[in-house]
Amino acid sequence: MDKLIIEGGNVLKGEVEISGAKNSCLPIMAATLLTDEPCVIRNVPPLRDIYTMIRLLKSLGMKAEWSNYTVFVEPRRKQRKYLAPYHLVKTMRASVCVLGPLLAKLHKAEVSMPGGCVIGHRPIDLHLKGLSALGGEINIEHGYVVAKTKQLKGTRIYLGGPFGSSVLGTANVMMAAVLAKGKTLIENAACEPEVVDLANFLLKMGAKIKGINTHILEIEGVKELKGVDYTVIPDRIEAGTYMIAGAITGGDLILKSANLEHMGAVVDKLRQTGVEINTDQGNIRVKRRKELKPVEVTTLPYPGFPTDMQAQMMALMTVTEGISVITEKIYPDRFMHVAELNRMGAEIMLEGASAIVKGVKSLSGAPVMASDLRASAALVIAGLVARGKTEISRIYHLDRGYEAMEKKLSKLGARIRRLKE
């Protein structure tokens, strides 16, 4: 297993290119199961999760390959399969979003139930509720969701759970509804930019969807969808991660190919702390000149502060004088990074679903362990300013969602290298 070694203390400066959004690519790749025609998806970064989705599409009888930031998918009509096996689903929860497309297109699906998850309890009851409402007959058998239907039929579905809307739940139900007979209304739909991106992909395929970008989606089912050529949006979480990496070092960065429109809550909080964020000839400039101020952050569904930025924001607050409070309202247990940050000298206390962060003067490098994708990013950020050497193990988590992070950071002046093991 590879490790990252970081020598903290360098100020980040320069330009960084933001990759395509992983969380757009994955459901969009699943949506190619809805057509018999080839699809081309552009701006797809070479990430572990993308390769897992390619393997899954292949196991479902599709031809799928990644080359030069582009994914090509072509259905092999006679060889289509409807089984998403445990060994793939267990490595990537997003695999569950093949369920809706398989049920809509092939009228049957067997998809392994996703297993436990380190960021907390992650049920799929809303996905199943929506697909049942559309007329899917759904059973759980031997660890698999077994779904079948004669024909899905449009209906009215309320898709809210105890923590609000569901991103992949909305994706799954929307992908099923586009081929259902008649009209579907999804109430409390998620409206994250990645859900909007998927909806735009489906529109291009010939789907009829109204209310995109709102919490109520109105979908008129069509008989078939066509293959398309589509470019995914930039990754707002990767962009936010580099903003914080720059800010924590007192740096000056230009983010290229990022979209500030998708980052309102993150930009607002960073500005409150004293980070300067401006647009500069179509790029985003992030600069920090003064001491940072503590903030209160609560994660919420979009357009609220994203849970996928919570750990990185916490890393920034560890060295911000004063008391910051970070409350998690999407995954109340998503705090695996707290103990590791404390090992580096941070002073963070957990109180239910809130972390109380008392800013310290400096962090000190230590061997730490990555536990999930965003927690890993937080440890990298902390390592950039820690005194001495930080050694992060289990960075395969990082490779699931950040393209060549050590290369991008090195180019900005960080002393960071990958140790192959």
Interaction of residue 115 with ligand EPU, rule CB under 6 A = no
Q: Can you read off the two tokens belonging to residue 196?
A: 């909007």
Instruction: Output the smallest distance, CB 162 to ligand EPU, in A.
Output: 6
Active site residue 97: no
Site string for ligand EPU, 325-344 (x = CB under 6 A): -----xx-------------
Q: Residue for token digits 């809130």?
A: 354
Interaction of residue 376 with ligand EPU, rule CB under 6 A = no
Sequence-separated contacts (24+) of 301-304 with Cβ below 8 Å: 301/163, 301/164, 301/165, 301/190, 301/191, 301/192, 301/330, 302/190, 302/191, 302/192, 302/193, 303/191, 303/264, 303/265, 304/265
Count of residues interacting with ligand EPU (CB under 6 A):
28
Interaction of residue 401 with ligand EPU, rule CB under 6 A = yes
Please, what is the end-to-end C-alpha distance for the chain in angstroms? 5
The one segment of 37-45, 61-69, 120-128, 205-213 that binds ligand EPU by CB under 6 A: 120-128
Q: Dihedrals φ, ψ of 110, to 5°?
A: -130, 110
The one segment of 71-79, 305-313, 357-365, 408-416 that binds ligand EPU by CB under 6 A: 305-313
Select which of 25, 97, 117, 191 is catalytic: 117
- Among residues 301, 96, 24, the alpha carbon closest in space to that of 190 is found at 301
The interface with ligand EPU within residues 76-95 (CB under 6 A) comprises 93-94
Q: What is the distance between the alpha carbons of residues 220 and 148, in angstroms, rounded to a whole number?
A: 21
Interaction of residue 124 with ligand EPU, rule CB under 6 A = yes
Site string for ligand EPU, 14-43 (x = CB under 6 A): ---------x--x-----------------
If phi > 0 it is left, if psi is from -120 to 50 it is alpha, else beta; for residue 396 that is alpha
The one segment of 34-42, 179-187, 303-311, 341-349 that binds ligand EPU by CB under 6 A: 303-311
Interaction of residue 143 with ligand EPU, rule CB under 6 A = no
Binding-site member from 122, 153, 256, 287 for ligand EPU (CB under 6 A) = 122
- The answer to whether the Cα torsion of 335, 337, 339, 345 is positive or negative is negative
Alpha-carbon 154 to chain mean position:
29
Q: Which is nearer to ligand EPU, 204 or 329 (CB)?
A: 329
The one segment of 102-110, 205-213, 259-267, 304-312 that binds ligand EPU by CB under 6 A: 304-312
Q: What is the distance between the alpha carbons of residues 246 and 286, in angstroms, rounded to a whole number?
A: 7
If phi > 0 it is left, if psi is from -120 to 50 it is alpha, else beta; for residue 37 that is beta
Interaction of residue 308 with ligand EPU, rule CB under 6 A = yes
Q: Where are any strands of DSSP class E within 29-182? A: 39-42, 62-67, 70-75, 83-84, 108-112, 137-141, 144-148, 156-158
Q: Residue for token digits 């890993």?
A: 376
Interaction of residue 234 with ligand EPU, rule CB under 6 A = no
Q: Which is nearer to ligand EPU, 308 or 403 (CB)?
A: 308
Interaction of residue 126 with ligand EPU, rule CB under 6 A = yes
Q: Can you read off the two tokens belonging to residue 227?
A: 């293959």
Binding-site member from 19, 249, 307, 318 for ligand EPU (CB under 6 A) = 307
**Running DSSP on this structure, what letter comes out for residue 278?**
E
Site string for ligand EPU, 152-171 (x = CB under 6 A): ---------xxx--xxxx--
Instruction: Output the smallest distance, CB 32 to ligand EPU, in A.
Output: 16
Q: Which is nearer to ligand EPU, 242 or 288 (CB)?
A: 242
Confirm if 81 and 43 have CB atoms less than 8 A apart: no
Q: Catalytic residues, which ones?
A: 117
Residues that bind ligand EPU (CB under 6 A): 23, 26, 93-94, 121-127, 161-163, 166-169, 190, 194, 306-308, 330-331, 373-374, 401
